Each structure stands twice: as structure tokens, then as C-alpha cells.
Copies of this chain bind each other. A is one copy, B any other.
Amino acid sequence: MLTPINILKKIPLFSSLSESDQQNLTSLLRRKLLGKGEHLFRQGDEGTALYIIVQGRIKISLSKRADNVTLAILGQGEFLGEMALLDELPRSADAIALEETQLYILNRKDFLSFLAGNTHTVYAILNSLSRRLRRMDDQLAEMCFLNLSARLAKQLVELAETQNPGGDPKACDLNISQQELGNILGASRESINKELKILRDKGVVETSRNSIRILDLEALRKRMP
């Protein structure tokens, strides 16, 4: 069930909180609905809230660049805008709903006053941010030193795991266009297509419009060193 408290438990930033802290935090949440293609916020906007995705998908992108860079596509249980809670800087990217999306909102003020009474939460957050920094160090190194074939394999595995947390080894459909994959991986649409052809010829994936079906997740794992 997607109760607020169950949503909180899935968020690394909050999952280590005690049950009662989670209940308190839950009482501060408000709801919001977004239609497909609607902006949640734009680069440069003042940011004063954290959003938690209850249902649907949000794309984080830098549209100001000539190349349209996609930083992330977030789904159910993931959250965004958390940096606005921790510093006073404007939004560093755009956030757009890829489909009809339902969110919880947590305001900066509410969050900070919650923090003031929860030392434990503060340490949980420091811990969580620290892990994210470690992870980004890794990602940076990978972007830099892996070729497209390896990066694509890695991205597909990652998408499969987030869309299919059970770790089901069976077939799994990813709802993403080849253009979007290119935006995420910093590659052209055509290059993505050519890499997918190689995977298709080996029977690792099947492709169709706006969708990639993963047939052999293990084979993908072997391609990401």
C-alpha cells in the first residue's frame, strides 16, 4: 500500500528514522498532481520544497544546454528537490512529468523545524548525503572511463533494477525511448540504436517503440566491467 509512511520507508534519506519520527514527518506532507508533460519546476526557480513521487515518473534535465542532458528519471518512491532543503540556491535543473504523476510535498520550513527536534535524523541525513557523494564519485569515473557499450549495459541494468526491485530474472520492459537513453548517457540517438542492435542480435534485448524488453539481464551485467 502506498501510504505516506510506506513511501517514507523507501527513501534512503528517511528510511533509517524511527517509526515515530516517520509518523511525525508524514504529518507535514501535502499532495500534488501533475499532468503528462507538465513542469514541476524549472532551472533557476527558487526552490523551497522536497517532492516525493507516489506514482508516475519525473525527468530531471538541463534544457538550457544545446544538447538536452537528462540527469535522471525518477519513479515511484524516489524523491527530488532535496537540495533545496539544505541550501538556499535556485533549482539547478528542470523537472518534468513524463506521465500523470502524484507527489507528496515537504516544505523547507517544515522540514527544518522537524530537524531541529531530531538529532538522529540529522545524522541519518549526513550519512545519506555522504553515501550519495561516494556514489557520484564512482559515476563520474565511469562516465569518464567506460565506453558506450559498457555504459549502456550498466544503465539498462540500473533501469531494470529500479523498475523491478524484486530482482526478477525474467523478462522486464523498460519504458524509455532511444533518444532519452542517449540524453542520459551523453550519446547520440543513432549510437544508442547501433549498440541496441548488437544486443538484439545476441538475443539480450528486444526493442519496440518507446520500450526495451530485457531478455537476459545476466548478459548485460557481464558487459559492464
Residues of A within 8 A of B (CB): 62, 65-67, 69, 71, 83, 86-87, 89, 92-93, 116, 119, 122, 125-127, 129-134, 136-141, 143-145, 185-186, 225
- A69-B141, A69-B145 are known contacts; what are 17 more A-B pairs with Cβ within 8 Å? A65-B145, A71-B137, A86-B126, A86-B129, A87-B127, A87-B134, A126-B126, A129-B130, A132-B133, A133-B136, A139-B140, A140-B140, A140-B143, A141-B186, A143-B143, A143-B186, A144-B185
| Stoichiometry, copies per complex | 2
- Distance between Cα atoms of A86 and B125 in the complex (Å): 9
Complex interface: chain B residues within 8 A of A136 (CB): 133, 136-137, 140
**Complex contacts, A66 vs chain B, CB 8 Å:** 225
| Alpha-carbon separation in the docked complex, A223 to B65 (Å) | 15
The docked-state distance in angstroms from the alpha carbon of A132 to that of B130 is: 10
Task: Give min CB distance, A211 to chain B, whole Å.
Answer: 24
A71 contacts across to B, CB distance below 8 A: 137, 140-141
* Distance to closest chain B CB from A193 (angstroms): 18
A87 partner residues in chain B, CB cutoff 8 A: 126-127, 130-131, 134
Rounded to whole Å, the gap between the CB of A69 and the closest CB of chain B is 5
Question: Which residues of chain B come closer than 8 Å to A141, judged between CB atoms?
Answer: 62, 65, 69, 71, 186
Smallest Cβ-Cβ distance to A84: which chain B residue: B130
13 interchain pairs, CB-CB under 8 A: A62-B141, A65-B141, A86-B126, A86-B130, A87-B127, A92-B138, A125-B126, A129-B130, A129-B133, A132-B133, A133-B136, A136-B137, A143-B144
B69-A133 in contact (CB<8A): no
User: What is the minimal beta-carbon distance from A63 to any residue of chain B, in angstroms?
Assistant: 12
* Distance in Å: Cβ of A127 to nearest Cβ of chain B: 5
Nearest B-chain residue to A92, judged by Cβ: B134
